[in-house]
């Protein structure tokens, strides 16, 4: 390659770099007098303004500042059921009251109500036959029951003996543990829960909330009730204007509200969410800040295995036998409904700051109008070529212009060929004049 060729290439690269470095873009206003473009411009502005005012400021309350609530909840159940199940000796004739069926007596944000139970009474530490329904409990002779072995789902270690099962229908290994072991086979085909009638229990939910930012405190016991008796007589009812604020719920009403069958739920157990929603507009009277109740079954689903919800607990006591105390316990396999209570709350109050912020950021969206109109004018309309010629302008420096001017035979001002796109050029649109 010759030396002159190399120096030529170098010069052209340098001039290219210099022309890229030493140039300047400035927007200019192109005033388009077209009904079509003017209409598109105004229409887009109207849409954006409606969004800012209608949706952001009015519908989404963009003129308010907000606070979420802090809350405290307690629940109290009332109701008594009587069970006369003489064929089930563990239960027999019994009255169940709130201390029997609410386990534990108080929980944070939840309440468990026992609706069905399999009791195994008077268990004590001794030897007895293992539960025959447990895999590995059957035996032929003592050699099938290695001493000390504990089955995965067993009730205690084998003593080494093979004995008659509790129903005397088979041979099972003997264990040492809480005897006699639980036998739920008698309860398998029950059609009604043990605590039949629990649908008439009532649950009183006491909820205090606070919106700390606004110093507003509310509770879900409204001033409608003159005294405790009036309060205890009310029952929540979604369809009644006053009763829908009553904080005492019949369990049956809750279950009906979520379209479930109470008996079925009571037999298998389940989890129901109680949502207390406080949606308060503090621009109006604080008395209008009222709770709204809704319910949802959280364990809903058509499950074929491990349906419902149950757990075991025991109460313990000691009996004096031969001058020593022997410990006993009553074991309960409890099935029931867990009520999980969730409080949601949001309060809003007028404030100039969010109003200005929302309005300001909304107005910034108006810049979209120019972008969209530019796209339509420069790339969509029939006269796009014409508009583009007017929008982008390449101007040489005044010095170059002077040289060109001097070289030229004509002394008039000359625009240089347009050849470069500059998207930052400002455009203004007007809805009068003729379309191009």
Ligand X SMILES: Nc1ncnc2c1ncn2[C@@H]1O[C@H](COP(=O)(O)OP(=O)(O)OP(=O)(O)O)[C@@H](O)[C@H]1O
Annotated ligand binding at 311? The verdict is yes
Pick between residue 202 and residue 281 the one whose CB is nearest to ligand X: 202
Least CB distance to ligand X at residue 247 (A): 9
Least gap, CB of 251 to ligand X (angstroms): 10
Would the annotation count 78 as a binding residue? yes
Reading the block at residue 171, the tokens are: 């041979």
- 417 annotated as a binding-site residue: no
Instruction: Specify whether the CB–CB gap between 180 and 123 falls below 8 A.
Output: yes
Nearest Cα neighbor of 186 from 336, 86, 315 is 86
Tell whether 76 is in a known binding site: yes
**What is the smallest separation between the CB atom of 213 and ligand X, expressed in angstroms?**
29
Q: Which of 331, 342, 283, 339 is nearest to 69 (CA)?
A: 342
**Sole residue written with tokens 């157990």:** 269
> With contact defined as beta carbons under 8 Å apart, do 202 and 251 qualify?
yes
Q: Choose between 232 and 402: whose C-beta lies nearer to ligand X.
A: 232
Whether 295 has a binding-site annotation, put simply, is no
Smallest gap from residue 202 Cβ to ligand X (A): 4
The string of DSSP letters for 178-219 reads EESPP--GGGTT-SS-TTTTGGG-EEEEEEEEEETTTTEEEE
Pick the closer one to ligand X by CB: 30 or 250.
Answer: 250
For residue 10, whether the previous peptide bond is cis, meaning omega lies within 30 degrees of 0, is no
Closer residue to ligand X (CB): 17 or 72: 72
- 219 labelled as ligand-binding? no
Shortest distance (Å) from residue 110 CB to ligand X: 16
- Give just the sign of the alpha carbon dihedral 193, 194, 196, 201: negative
Q: Running DSSP on this structure, what letter comes out for residue 130?
A: P
240 assigned to a ligand binding site: no
Q: Which residues lie near ligand X (CB under 6 A)? A: 76-78, 202-204, 228, 231-232, 248
Q: Which residues pair with 337 in a beta bridge?
A: 113, 270
Q: Which residues are annotated as a binding site for ATP?
A: 76-78, 202, 310-312, 333
């Amino acid at each position: 390659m010759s030396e002159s060729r190399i120096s030529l290439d170098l010069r052209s690269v340098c001039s290219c770099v210099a022309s890229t470095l030493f140039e300047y873009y400035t927007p200019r206003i192109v005033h388009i007098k077209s009904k079509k473009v003017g209409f598109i411009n105004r229409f887009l502005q109207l849409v954006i303004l409606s969004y800012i005012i209608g949706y952001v400021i009015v519908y989404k309350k963009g003129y308010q500042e907000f606070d979420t609530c802090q809350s405290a909840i307690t629940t109290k159940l009332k109701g008594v059921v009587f069970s006369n199940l003489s064929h089930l000796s563990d239960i027999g004739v019994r009255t169940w009251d709130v201390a029997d069926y609410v386990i534990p007596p108080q929980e944070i944000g939840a309440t468990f109500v026992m609706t069905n139970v399999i009791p195994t009474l008077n268990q004590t530490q001794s030897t007895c036959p293992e539960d025959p329904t447990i895999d590995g409990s059957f035996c032929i002779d003592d050699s099938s029951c290695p001493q000390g072995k504990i089955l995965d789902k067993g009730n205690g270690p084998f003593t080494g003996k093979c004995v008659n099962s509790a129903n005397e229908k088979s041979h099972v290994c003997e264990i040492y543990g809480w005897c006699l072991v639980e036998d739920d086979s008698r309860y398998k085909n029950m059609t009604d829960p043990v605590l039949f009638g629990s649908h008439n229990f009532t649950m009183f939910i006491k909820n205090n909330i606070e919106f700390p930012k606004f110093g507003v405190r509310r509770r879900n016991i409204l001033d409608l009730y003159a005294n405790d008796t009036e309060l205890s007589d009310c029952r929540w009812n979604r369809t009644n204007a006053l009763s829908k604020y009553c904080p005492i719920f019949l369990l049956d009403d809750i279950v009906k509200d979520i379209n479930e069958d109470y008996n079925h739920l009571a037999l298998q157990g389940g989890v129901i969410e109680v949502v207390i929603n406080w949606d308060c507009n503090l621009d109006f009277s604080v008395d209008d800040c009222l709770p709204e109740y809704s319910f949802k079954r959280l364990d809903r689903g058509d499950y074929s295995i491990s349906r419902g919800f149950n757990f075991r607990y025991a109460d313990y006591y000691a009996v004096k036998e031969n001058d020593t105390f022997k410990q006993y316990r009553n074991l309960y396999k409890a099935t029931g409904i867990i009520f999980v209570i969730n409080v949601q709350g949001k309060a809003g109050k007028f404030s100039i700051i969010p109003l200005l912020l929302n309005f300001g950021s909304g107005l910034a969206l108006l810049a979209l109008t120019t972008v969209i109109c530019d796209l339509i004018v420069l790339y969509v309309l029939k006269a796009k070529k014409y508009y583009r010629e007017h929008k982008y302008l390449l101007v040489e420096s005044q010095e170059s212009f002077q040289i060109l001017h001097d070289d030229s035979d004509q002394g008039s001002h000359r625009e240089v060929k347009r050849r470069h796109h500059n998207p930052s050029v400002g455009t203004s649109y007007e809805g009068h004049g003729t379309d191009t």
